[in-house]
Every structure is written in structure tokens, then in C-alpha cells.
Amino acid sequence: MNTALSSRAFADVTKLFHQVSGIHLGESKHSLVTGRLQKLAIDAGEPDLDRYVERLVTGHASAEEMTRVIDRLTTNETYFFREPQHYNDLADRLAEHDRAQPFRVWSAASSSGEEAYSVAMLMTDVLGQSPWEVIGTDLSTAVVDSARRGLYPLDRADLVPPDYLKRFCLKGQGTHAGSLLVAPSVRERVRFMTANLMQPLPQLPLFDVIFLRNVLIYFDNDAKDQIVRRVLTQLKPDGVLYTGHAESLSTLGLPLRLLGTAIHAHA
């Protein structure tokens, strides 16, 4: 039994992952990929990692197995109210919004849902029962399912305002001690679905604000260009796009103008 992953198998599986997701995993991720594939290989009845990868790349794995591989190799680390400057900017926009008109926000790489729920807490606070909607999408079916549950470790909520914790979160008791559950009144206003930003998007409305944060760092420039242009088709003419503070779009020649730190609008 071979539980190690050879350099050739690593190159093969990361090439396959790149073709499906657009995400590039460099050699520095060798240990991470090995660890994440080991349990999948055992569960599939092929504990030899190189032979397991051969099954994947030669098309002998089922669609369900490939979905599990994509889920395992997708990195999903986030927390509530990450990069709070964007939430401050969003709060200002919500305060000026005509409440007779619906306000829609898309968390385009929503991971396990903390970003989408952070937005929903803010919109509940500012807009109340006025018409608004939050949609979260992610490549991974596993994290989308997790997001719908809305159950999180308490340590991901360090940046949640204390008032929001009281109003919009339920503290876990008993077997759920150390966890929080996003309140049903917030969860029911957020819709999650799977979407691959490198492929045609599911049917979506136009959005006033799109969050596309801390995901572009995993793509090469060509893929970044494709993703941003695809996402921009869903942004209203007067809408704004938030990207991660460490993600620069300035060299891509995109039809954007910069309004503030990692805040963009149509050019």
C-alpha cells in the first residue's frame, strides 16, 4: 500500500483540478493534497494514492467521486466580518438606498457562508423588512451544504459586533457548546447554491454589490480576467465590486475604476 503521492501523480491530479476549477495548486501544496486525498482513496477502495490518481485522470472515477475530490481540494477558510472596511462601505450604501427598491448582494465565493451571513446581519440591521436578498455561491458542494446549516465555531465570530451576536446568533448549548447558530430570521434571507466561476454561471439576478474576495489569489492572470469579466455581467451599472485587499486587478486591463481600497465600479 502506497500512502505517499509521487511528484508525477501530484502533477497529474493538480493539472486535472486546474482544468475543472481553474485553481492552481503549486508544489508547496504537495502535503496538503496528499493529506486530503488519502481518506478519499481509502473510502474508494484504492488506498494506493498513485493508483487512485490514475483512476481520476483516466476518467475511471464517477462524477460523484470527482465532486468529492473537488470538495476536498478546495480551500475554505474564512470568518465573519473579514476585512471590515467593506462592510463599513456597504453600510453607507445601504443607508442611502431607496428602500422601495430591492437591494441584492452576491457573495460569489462564499465558502462556508460567513461572508454571506455577515452581509445579511448588516442588511437586517439597516434595511429591516425592506426588500433585499443575499445569494452565496461556491464551487464546493460540501461547504454550500455547511453554509445552509449556519452552524459555526465561536472563534470565527470574533469580529461580529456584540449587538449582532445578541440579535442574530444563538449560542450553542450542550453538545453544541462552543458553537453559534445563525438565527433563522437571518438564515431564511440568504440563498446558497453551487457555482463554478470558471464556467457559465447559474441563472442569477443583477446585483447592487458583489463580493469576490480572497479567491482570485488562487488563479493565474488569464483565469482572473475570465472570472472578473464573467462576474461583472451580473453587476448593475451603478453597482460595486469588492475584492480581497491582497488581490490586485490593476494589471489585467479590466473595464473597472477604483473607488477605494479593493472597491471597484464599472469603468
Active-site positions read 36, 138
Residue with cell string 455577515: 118
Burial track 59-87 (b if 16+ CB lie within 10 A, e otherwise):
eebeeebebbbbbbbbebebbbbbbeebb
262, 247 contact by CB (below 8 A): yes
Amino acid at 8: R
Q: Give the largest Cα separation in the chain, rounded.
A: 64
Distance CA 115, CA 215 (A): 13
Beta bridge partners of 190: 134
Three-class SS state of 167: helix
